[in-house]
Amino acid sequence: MALISTRRSAVSAVYARRVGRLGVLASAVALASLTSLVNAPAALASPPTPISAAAARSYLAGVTPTAEGSLSGYSRTLFPHWSTVSGTCNTRETVLKRDGVNVVTDSSCAATSGSWYSEYDGATWTAASDVDIDHLVPLAEAWRSGASSWTTARRQQLANDLTRPQLIAVTDNVNQAKGDLDPGKWLPSRTSYRCTYARMWVQVKQYYGLTMDSGEKTALVNILNGC
């Protein structure tokens, strides 16, 4: 009986050690899983989701192309920006934080660190100075498409619109190369983003009742037919 008792004790000890090792292993796995969640990169943010390709195509079907108006009298100052959004943060700074990853700002709301992925060209930047906030429908393009007759308040709304997909953080020199061109003359080099870009463009023009010229409409129709 003593021998059996001794063997049972030995078996119990072995079992306890195995259970202990399994417990440690389970804890390690759980900790690793938790660490991976904490250290996982934040999802890329973006402008508000635009209307669907179907909705954009439907709208375009009813658009009668109109020749662009004159740029006479245009000035960016007629589209006041960047407006204060909250506290010391203006629209530009708000978009930088929205579209970036791990963005850190100082007491004046200026971005001091972070990273930004430019949807137009696929580049990633870690300095806010390398990023521009693009007015998707350029202000000069809006002027030629009907905004010349708007009130200053309406133009300010377009220039600071965070509700529609009108503002997006992109590579600065790409934004500068785009200038005031419409989709008939300029499109993002990332072809995979062109469908989204077209949907964004149509939504902004639709919301603000801005006209489209024939080249612009044709380019948008061609893109959206492939979406």
For 214, half-sphere exposure in the C-beta direction (CA atoms, 13 angstrom radius) is: 1
b/e per residue 34-63 (b: at least 16 CB within 10 A): eeeeeeeeeeeeebeebbebeebbebbeeb
Residue by residue, pLDDT tens for the chain (227 residues) are: 443 343 344 434 433 343 343 343 333 333 333 333 333 333 456 899 999 999 999 999 999 999 999 999 999 999 999 999 999 999 999 999 999 999 999 999 999 999 999 999 999 999 999 999 999 999 999 999 999 999 999 999 999 999 999 999 999 999 999 999 999 999 999 999 999 999 999 999 999 999 999 999 999 999 999 99
Distance CA 181, CA 183 (A): 7
